[in-house]
Amino acid sequence: MQKKRTLLFFFCACSLYFVTHFLNRNNMGNQTHFTPLSTLPIPLYLGQCVAYKQEVLICGGVCKGDCYSYHTLKNEYKHVCSYPSDTKLFGHCVVRLANDNKDTDKDEVVLLSFGGERKHTLMMKYVSVWDETIEKSEHCNKWLPFTDMHNQVLCIGRSKDDYRGVRAVLGGSENHLLFITYFPNNIDVFDVTTFQYVKHDILPTDGNYWIWYHCFVSKSTNAKKDLKKRGTEMVLFCENRGLSIEYDEDNNTFRFRKLPVCDSISPLNKCAYVRIHDVILFFGGDSHRNGTSKAVHKYSIKDSKWITFPHSLPTPLYGCVAVLSEDDACVHILGGKNRQMEEVSTHTKANVHYWLSEKEMQRWRLLHAHNKNEKEEEEEEE
């Protein structure tokens, strides 16, 4: 009898272990590394965001002209301003310009908003709405016309250009060149100091394939040695197209090289994306064939390899926006549309270490420390 009880106990213990082990393995794919944050003030689709100190600046979305600042420590939002009433947003782009001008206040950041279905070009000098000790002029925290040195109003983009889903990055030896990629396969270089176009070229996207609402990032690390280079390196992905783009500033020429694209991301468009040092993360996306995705992909710029993570977004999304916090610690995912094509007002974040390998984390820490030291040296010089 005692032997039977012992065998029965052993059998029950083994059964419990295997059931628990199986359930844990089965639930691994359902785990999420994302932390929910305060809901956005408005639903946001195809929004544009910029990181600034302890803030995420939300600069409108499709048919949404209100702009907000999200404070990463307070987990709260404040209204900053609204786009002019005659500016209709649909697929616009917002970039942060370099504050290399000695006349620029160190407490402000300059934003450039342009493009979209009905093209506009506006500029904002943003001063934190959270810091009441900073004196704010009447010209800050509002979208104003983009003007040249003669106070002439400028519009980036020709009348024939389709700027829906346009993407742009800043580069050049003095961080003065705006690289603009747009439908169907165009790339322009615009000098933001002389207000002149300096180059136009055609991207090798193979025949009938086009680009819009795509991934476009600079490979610059923001370190001084990178900024002083006379060349700018960029990476572009759109569905099944991948390109490495190199611009030679001295000769005003481009060089293009095709990059591999993994099968699981090749049908997806309108993915959120963010570059962290030498990797690019992609979140969600939509395809006509498979619908809306909640997958998270990673592309290693250094190794030119792809990874699809088992841990995905909490819900399927497309047209959301991803932004890396200025301290490089967290990725924020804001807005988008769900499978029912409804605009959402969700806001989540995830720590970057969830997505980086041990070697990538080591390189990230070294670069982060180097950039921090350079910034402190610049502040001491001022």
Q: 278 Cβ partners below 8 Å, 6+ apart?
A: 219, 300, 301, 302, 360, 363
Whether residue 283 lies inside any domain: the answer is yes
Whether residue 207 lies inside any domain: the answer is yes
On whether the pTM is more than 0.95, the answer is no
Whether residue 244 lies inside any domain: the answer is yes
Instruction: Sheet with 35-36: list strands edge to edge.
Output: 35-36, 347-351, 330-334, 321-324
| Cα distance between residue 252 and residue 232, in whole Å | 11
Number of domains within the chain = 1
Whether residue 191 lies inside any domain: the answer is yes
Query: Residue 64 forms beta bridges with which residues?
Result: 61
Whether residue 232 lies inside any domain: the answer is yes
Greatest Cα pair distance in the chain: 100
334: domain CATH number is 2.120.10.80
Instruction: Sheet with 144-145: list strands edge to edge.
Output: 92-96, 108-115, 120-127, 144-145
Q: pLDDT 10s digit of each residue in the chain, 382 long?
A: 444 454 444 444 444 333 333 333 333 344 568 999 999 999 999 999 999 999 999 999 999 999 999 999 999 999 999 999 999 999 999 999 987 555 556 789 999 999 999 999 999 999 999 998 888 888 899 999 999 999 999 999 998 999 999 999 999 999 999 999 999 999 999 999 999 999 999 999 876 789 999 999 999 876 555 555 689 999 999 999 999 999 999 999 999 999 999 999 999 999 999 999 899 999 999 998 889 999 999 999 999 999 999 889 999 999 999 999 999 899 999 999 999 999 999 999 999 988 888 888 887 778 767 666 666 665 565 5
Q: Domain range for residue 261?
A: 39-381
* Tally of residues, the chain: 382
CA atoms within 13 A on the CB side of 121: 14
Whether residue 16 lies inside any domain: the answer is no
Burial of 284 from C-beta contacts in 10 A (0-12 / 13-18 / 19+)? buried
Q: Can you say how many angstroms the Cα of residue 173 is from the centroid of all Cα atoms in its chain?
A: 22
Secondary structure element (H or E) that encloses residue 24, with its range:
helix 2-27
- Give the single-character DSSP code of 129: S
Whether residue 14 lies inside any domain: the answer is no
Among 170, 187, 276, residue whose Cα is nearest residue 227: 170
Whether residue 98 lies inside any domain: the answer is yes
